[in-house]
Structure 1
Amino acid sequence: MHRTVSVCVALVLLVMTVRRTNGDIPVDETEHEQLLAVVPCIRRLCEKYFRSERAMKGSLAIINIKPDASTFQQHILRSFNEDPRHELGVMVKDASRPHWNASHVTEKAKNYLMLIADSSALAAPIRQLRRLPTWNPLAQVVVLFTTELTPLVFEIEVRNVLQELFDNSVLNVNVMVQRYNTSVLEVWTWFPYESGGCADNIDRLRLVDECEYIFQAADPERNVRAAWVFRERHYFSDYGPKIPKYYNYCPLKVSTSIWEPFVVGNASHIEKGLEVLMLDAITARMRLVPVFSVIESALTTARITADNQTGLYADVLQRRTDLMVGGLHENPISRKLLSATIPYYQDDLTWCVPTARHAPKWLNVFIIFNVWTWLIAIGIIFAAAALLYRFNYVERLYRVNYTWMLLQSLAFSLSVYAHYWPRRVSIRLFLIGYMFYGLHWNAAYHSFLISVLTRPRYEPQISTVQQAIQAEFGFVGAENTLGHFDKPDANSRHIATHYQVCKNLDECLGRLRCERTIAIAMSRAHSSNSRAIGEAELYCFPKVENIYTYSVSMLAKKDFHLLPKINELIRRISESGLLGKWQKESEKIRIDQDEEDGAGGSGGEKSGEGQTILRLDHIEGAFYLGAAGLILALIAFIGEVLYFRAKRRYRWRDNLLDRYLL
Structure 2
Amino acid sequence: MDELLQNTHKRITWPVITSFLEAAMPENTIVYKHQSYIILLWAEERDDLINTLESQVENTKSYGPSFNRWGKFLVVVTDFGVQSPEALAMSIIKNLWDNHQIANSVIMIPNLYESVIRFDLYTWFPYESGQCGTIEEVVLLDRCILEKDRALSTNISLFSSKIPLNVHGCPIRVSTWDRHPNMILDTHNETNGSITYSGIEAVYLLLLSETMNMTIIYLPPPEKEMYLAEFFIYSLSSVFSGQADIAMGNFPLHYLPLAYCEPTIPYVYGTFKWYVQCARPIRRIDNLINLFTAPAWSVLVLLLILSAVTFWCIANSPHTSMTKESIVYRYLSECFTNTWAVFLGVSVPEMPRNFRLRIYFFLFVCYCFVISTVFQAYFTSFLIEPKFEKQIHTFEELQSSESRYLEHPSMQELGTYMNYDKYKKLRKCYEKCPDYGKCLSRLLDGEKATMLMLDLWAEYAASKSRRGQASLCPIDQTEFSMGLTMYLSKGSLFRDRFNVLIQRCFEAGLGKIYWSQLTWKVSLNKSHEHGGGEAANDSNVYFAFTVYHLRVAFCLLAFGGALSCIVFMAELLTKLHFTRLRLV
In the alignment, what sits opposite 1:28? none
Which runs of no fewer than 5 residues in structure 2 stay unpaired?
10-15, 42-46, 189-195, 317-321, 528-534
In the alignment, what sits opposite 2:8? 87
Does residue 564 in structure 1 map to residue 496 in structure 2? yes
Does residue 106 in structure 1 map to residue 32 in structure 2? yes
Amino acid corresponding to residue 512 of structure 1 in structure 2:
L
| Contact 2:182–2:202 (CA under 8 A) maintained in structure 1 | yes
Q: Deviations over 1:7-51 (max 9, x none)?
A: xxxxxxxxxxxxxxxxxxxxxxxxxxxxxxxxxxxxxxxxxxxxx
Distance 1:167 1:376, change over 3 A: farther
Does residue 507 in structure 1 map to residue 435 in structure 2? no
| Contact 1:414–1:439 (CA under 8 A) maintained in structure 2 | no
| Contact 1:487–1:493 (CA under 8 A) maintained in structure 2 | no
In the alignment, what sits opposite 2:403? 473
In 2: Cα distance, 1:128 partner to 1:299 partner: 40
Please, which of 539, 543, 546 is the counterpart of residue 612 of structure 1? 543
Please, which of 308, 322, 334 is the counterpart of residue 245 of structure 2? 322
In the alignment, what sits opposite 1:301? 228
Distance 1:370 1:290, change over 3 A: farther
| Contact 1:302–1:503 (CA under 8 A) maintained in structure 2 | no
Amino acid corresponding to residue 437 of structure 2 in structure 1:
D
Q: CA deviation at 1:353?
A: 1.1
In the alignment, what sits opposite 1:285? 211
| Contact 2:280–2:389 (CA under 8 A) maintained in structure 1 | yes
Q: Could you tell which deviates more after superposition, 418-427 or 465-474?
A: 418-427
In 2: Cα distance, 1:385 partner to 1:407 partner: 8
Amino acid corresponding to residue 475 of structure 2 in structure 1:
F
Does residue 248 in structure 1 map to residue 171 in structure 2? no
Q: CA deviation at 1:512?
A: 0.7
In 2: Cα distance, 1:500 partner to 1:122 partner: 59
Amino acid corresponding to residue 94 of structure 1 in structure 2:
L
Amino acid corresponding to residue 317 of structure 1 in structure 2:
F
In 2: Cα distance, 1:402 partner to 1:484 partner: 79
Please, which of 197, 202, 219 is the counterpart of residue 131 of structure 2? 197
Does residue 454 in structure 1 map to residue 384 in structure 2? yes
In the alignment, what sits opposite 1:336? 259
In 2: Cα distance, 1:415 partner to 1:277 partner: 66
Q: CA deviation at 1:135?
A: 2.0
Q: CA deviation at 1:341?
A: 2.3
Q: TM-score, normalised by structure 2?
A: 0.70
Q: CA deviation at 1:616?
A: 7.3
Q: CA deviation at 1:355?
A: 0.9
Q: Could you tell which deviates more after superposition, 161-170 or 534-543?
A: 161-170
Which runs of no fewer than 5 residues in structure 1 stay unpaired?
1-79, 215-226, 594-600, 653-662
Residue aligned with 1:347, SS: strand
In 2: Cα distance, 1:415 partner to 1:572 partner: 69
| Contact 2:284–2:382 (CA under 8 A) maintained in structure 1 | no
In the alignment, what sits opposite 2:480? 548
Residue aligned with 1:349, SS: strand
Q: TM-score, normalised by structure 1?
A: 0.63
Distance 1:485 1:138, change over 3 A: closer
| Contact 2:236–2:487 (CA under 8 A) maintained in structure 1 | no
Q: Could you tell which deviates more after superposition, 416-425 or 457-466?
A: 416-425
The 5 A counterparts of 1:60-459 are 80-83=1-4, 86-87=7-8, 91-94=18-21, 101=27, 104-111=30-37, 113=39, 117=48, 129-130=60-61, 131-137=64-70, 139-140=72-73, 142=75, 162=94, 165-166=97-98, 168-173=100-105, 190-199=124-133, 201-202=134-135, 204-206=136-138, 208=140, 242-256=162-176, 270-271=197-198, 273=200, 275-290=201-216, 299=226, 301-302=228-229, 307=233, 311-326=234-249, 328-344=251-267, 346-389=269-312, 397=327, 402-403=332-333, 405-420=335-350, 424=354, 427=357, 430-459=360-389
Does residue 521 in structure 1 map to residue 463 in structure 2? no
In 1: Cα distance, 2:106 partner to 2:563 partner: 102
| Contact 1:109–1:136 (CA under 8 A) maintained in structure 2 | no
Q: CA deviation at 1:526?
A: 3.6
Residue aligned with 1:364, SS: helix
| Contact 2:312–2:329 (CA under 8 A) maintained in structure 1 | no
In 2: Cα distance, 1:107 partner to 1:618 partner: 73
In 2: Cα distance, 1:625 partner to 1:253 partner: 75
In the alignment, what sits opposite 2:192? none
In 2: Cα distance, 1:641 partner to 1:294 partner: 91
Amino acid corresponding to residue 110 of structure 1 in structure 2:
S
Q: CA deviation at 1:331?
A: 1.9
Residue aligned with 1:613, SS: coil
In the alignment, what sits opposite 1:41? none
Distance 1:622 1:167, change over 3 A: farther
Residue aligned with 1:245, SS: coil
Amino acid corresponding to residue 373 of structure 1 in structure 2:
A
Residue aligned with 1:550, SS: strand
In 2: Cα distance, 1:484 partner to 1:419 partner: 81
In the alignment, what sits opposite 1:70? none
